[in-house]
């Protein structure tokens, strides 16, 4: 009985974690600051939270210089991924951004063989074609949001690059160490760019970096809960739940995100029937891909 309760408990935590990740889109829309500013706050807060977590639990790891440089580069890629994601939300909406972002699994199937020197699998290409069809349906019937769709796809490509690269790094390094270094480098990169902007315009800080009271609350949720806490929960879950089960549940993120956005923003998030058809094709393809991969193993 205790074992069964533990199983339900960890599955609940898994779905709760996915719901936290899914809420980032809505938070990005609620915060009126520019996309790069949102990411600066998010990465800085996440770095501080995870560094304190590492310090308290004495998780000290000595890295090779080569690995550290890779993590620093990935931190910049992650920063650009989040910027393009939040920008997509601002110029379109949460539903479109989350749906198109989920296509990152398709890009992983193309990029992964290049990193690991494997052959591209036929079934992955076939499912990849399904993802493209889903995106084309959305693009065709929601053409007024074409810039948001393009920005979301760029964000998905960047996500696939750091996902595959992190999969290589995590074999020799702890995921906590990787994330701390990535958050640190991403923060430094964006702060340098911000400093250059401030040199060009002294009023830039006041006009673009100072959030209102509500936005301070949303930023803290984004940095502490959606990044720091979600990361720690994600690691804890994988100790009790198989990566396959976790992966399938994580594919529900765009569904949770779209439902949450419709609940918060109402009519602005309600799309055409064709959009939901395209979304269904994309998400179904990703889930089928995960099932086939597990059976192949």
Q: Where are the domains of the chain?
A: 2-296
How confident is residue 278, by pLDDT bands cut at 50, 70 and 90? confident
Res 4 pLDDT > 60:
no
In this prediction, residues 21-28 reach a mean pLDDT of 89
Structure tokens at 189: 């990169």
Res 57 pLDDT > 70:
yes
Alpha helices by DSSP H, listed for 92-226, are 94-101, 104-116, 122-141, 146-169, 175-200, 204-208, 213-220
In this prediction, residues 254-280 reach a mean pLDDT of 81
In this prediction the pTM is: 0.85
Res 244 pLDDT > 60:
no
Half-sphere exposure of 289 (CA within 13 A, CB side): 28
Report the alpha-carbon distance of residue 25 to residue 260 in Å, rounded. 9
How confident is residue 285, by pLDDT bands cut at 50, 70 and 90? confident
- Average pLDDT score over the chain: 81
How confident is residue 183, by pLDDT bands cut at 50, 70 and 90? very high
Q: Is the distance from CB of 179 to CB of 231 less than 8 angstroms?
A: yes
**Most trustworthy range by pLDDT among 57-66, 104-113, 272-281:** 272-281
117 φ/ψ sector (left φ>0, alpha ψ -120 to 50, else beta): left
In this prediction, residues 267-291 reach a mean pLDDT of 77
């Amino acid at each position: 009985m205790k074992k069964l309760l533990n199983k339900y408990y960890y599955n609940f935590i898994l779905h709760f974690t996915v719901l936290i990740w899914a809420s980032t889109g809505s938070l990005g829309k609620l915060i009126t600051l520019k996309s790069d500013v949102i990411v600066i706050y998010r990465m800085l807060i996440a770095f501080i939270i995870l560094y304190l977590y590492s310090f308290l639990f004495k998780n000290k790891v000595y890295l090779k210089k080569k690995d550290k440089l890779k993590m620093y580069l990935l931190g910049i890629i992650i920063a650009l991924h989040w910027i393009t994601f939040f920008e997509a939300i601002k110029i379109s909406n949460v539903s479109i951004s989350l749906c198109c972002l989920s296509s990152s699994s398709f890009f992983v199937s193309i990029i992964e063989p290049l990193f690991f020197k494997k052959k591209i699998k036929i079934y992955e290409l076939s499912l990849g074609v399904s993802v493209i069809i889903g995106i084309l349906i959305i693009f065709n019937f929601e053409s007024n949001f074409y810039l948001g769709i393009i920005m979301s796809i760029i964000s998905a490509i960047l996500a696939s690059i750091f996902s595959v690269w992190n999969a290589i790094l995590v074999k020799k390094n702890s995921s906590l160490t990787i994330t701390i270094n990535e958050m640190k480098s991403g923060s430094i990169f964006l702060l340098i760019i911000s400093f250059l902007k401030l040199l060009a315009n002294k009023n830039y800080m006041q006009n673009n970096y100072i959030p209102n009271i509500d936005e301070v609350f949303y930023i803290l949720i984004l940095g502490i809960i959606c990044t720091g806490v979600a990361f720690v929960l994600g690691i804890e879950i994988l100790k009790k739940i198989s990566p396959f089960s976790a992966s399938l549940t994580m594919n529900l993120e765009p569904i949770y995100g779209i439902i949450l956005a419709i609940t918060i923003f109402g009519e602005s998030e309600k799309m055409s029937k064709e959009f939901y058809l395209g979304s269904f094709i994309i998400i179904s393809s990703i889930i089928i891909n995960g099932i086939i991969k597990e059976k192949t193993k």
